[in-house]
Structure 1
Amino acid sequence: MFFRWDWLRPVLTAPIVPTLGPVHPDALTSGIFEDILRAGDTRDFLPYDKDRRWGGEKGERVLREDVVHRRERTLIPTLTHRGRGTVRVFAYGPQGNVVEEAAELAARLAAVHDVASARVLRPLGPQTAHPHGTRIQLKDFTTGPCPAPDGPVYPVTAWPAAVRETFATFAREMAADGLAFLHTRMQADQCGPVLATAVADRIVGAIGPMEVRPDAIGRPQLMPQYFAVLPEARGQGMGRLLWRAAMHWGQRHGAVYQLLQTEIGGPSDSLCQSEGLTSLGSSHTIHA
């Protein structure tokens, strides 16, 4: 075993694991950290990696030989070659010089691996005052029912053909939110259903794909979705309608929970907070 759990557990202020992202707190074990080290050598997806559903080769790996593991701090660097390449160092430890040390490590490794970007990802606990960055939120499906939405939300394939055909235009307009990528997966029949809502026979919002898969300890998890509403349709409750439809779908299909990442202060963040989700902490990315 590489990691000493009595060293690592006290500094895990938020349940964020390198290359995997947020995980359920109950799945946060030394074993999951050992798994990401082994996957860094093989470059394979872990069986419970949420990105495995997209296929291909794992795009981010841990730089095992450069991990810093001490009693009060652990620094785990990762490398991705997407775009011009990025080194990210996940900085676990108390406030002080842990971020400075992580930034120095990130900059050095970016030069060694000849990539353009060096970053530090700093997990922060849910009690952090004035957080910024990305919030991790938990929807627990075991605490109560998730009723069906009170408006028209259906799988894209269930809409009449004239409405269904507007999804392509919607996806292009919302490409920055990942909908164009999602549309290519839908056309190749390589993902679960995508839920959509329409106004005047035109799709104006969508969420998906809807899929449930086991997590690291075997519990069914509703996978993350792409989620977008056209700018001109916002402020009319469409986002809440879609989100509730997704939660209803997840509960109906046996999911125990879902983890969501929202930009702190953004519309999705406000929506999740108003819907009573539990904050598990946040993450803040710093350019080294």
Structure 2
Amino acid sequence: MNQEAPKSTSSKINLEKADIKDVISYLKVDPAKGLTTAQAQERLKKYGPNAIVAKTEPAWKKFLKHFTGPIAYMIEAAAIVSAIIGHWDDFWIILALLLVNAGIEMWQDNKASNALAALKKGLAPQATVLRNGKWQTMVAKDLVPGDIVKIRLGMIVPADLRLIGGQYASIDQAALTGESLPVHKKIGDEAYSGSIVKEGEMTAVVIATDGNTFFGKTAKLVASAGVKSDAQKAMFKIGNFLIVVAVILAVIMVAFRVYRSIAIAHDWGL
């Protein structure tokens, strides 16, 4: 995964792989002093908070969404027609199928929401940050690219970092990358947001926050679990096409029957 600088800058570098001196220069930060409050506030406005933000909507609205769409409307129309002509068995069967389908989709959406909530619990609540030349503890959501931070034993890595100082650190990132054992890190290596420091102490520069981190991109995939896939979208397009064809054929058939009725009536002199 490549962390690249914003498009607004004059040039791009791979913040994961570039020489650490180039990364620091690119992020315009003094490792001995960190960012100033003014710089941090400006970058916070530009990049947003270092947090996984999920869109929420009322449960009733989510539920009603599962009854919308051309195919759903056709099925609902069939249920209404069944009720009008008194075919109540068909009506209740169609209604039951609609409700069961909506219930299954709600259950899947709820599973994705729970998984996202569990992921968010793995984020660091606080971070040790160098601002205005002084080390201070602050909420991790206020971190911005270019911040100088310190990680040590027992801490959760608060953002995607490049290590710039210290002897070494052993970091458990199994939840993100699948490695069974903690990984030994040295200067120049990357540390992922949400991983846990098992040994050592190092300083680092923030290269990515919120949804641009390795962790954030994983969370986005989980959040999109309820979103329609390309295959589903293709199926809906096919379904919509078939509905249009069916409507056109129905109109043609009705027009033909009407024409036949008029022609027969004319032949009989009615």
Shorter-chain TM-score range: under 0.3
TM-score for the superposition, normalised by structure 2: 0.17
Structure number, greater radius of gyration:
2
TM-score for the superposition, normalised by structure 1: 0.17
